[in-house]
Amino acid sequence: MESNKGDIREELQRRMGEEQERFDKLFAEKDLIEEELAAINSRLGALRIVYENEVRRLGALARGDRVSRFAGMRVIEALRIIKAEQPNITRQQAHEILVKEGFDFRGKKSKRVVNFGWMALDRKKRGSK
């Protein structure tokens, strides 16, 4: 009579099945999240256009105020756009663009905000590879 004491195949199969179920569930959620992100991004784009139109309508531009093309964005999104437009840009150059464009740093130190945003964008980029 042969002993099955050292045979862990059944346990391994059970664990692989559990992990596969978790993977499948998360993968389906990922698809839904990506669709939702795309929809939200589209709505944000539309809201930015309406916002810029309202600023113009209310005469802010006539008073010399500038509307940033990055209005209402988080710094990481603005940096993502800048890096897509200019892949070899430096952090300092990106900072200068944001300042020139009138990005709203919400009273925080602009260089620090750009630095943290730059690092977060790099982490996301490395994590997606």
Q: pLDDT per residue over 24-36, tens digit each?
A: 999 999 989 999 9
pTM reported for the whole predicted model: 0.51
pLDDT beyond 60 at 3: no
Mean pLDDT to the nearest integer, 71-86: 87
Q: What is the reported pLDDT for 1?
A: 42
Task: Locate the domains of the chain by residue range.
Answer: 8-67, 70-129
Mean pLDDT to the nearest integer, 36-40: 91
Phi-psi region of 64 (alpha: psi -120 to 50; beta: other; left: phi over 0): left
Q: What is the reported pLDDT for 126?
A: 81
- Highest averaged pLDDT of the listed ranges 24-38, 53-67, 97-111: 24-38
pLDDT band for position 82 (50/70/90)? very high
User: Which DSSP helix (H) or strand (E) runs through 21?
Assistant: helix 9-57
Q: What is the reported pLDDT for 66?
A: 57
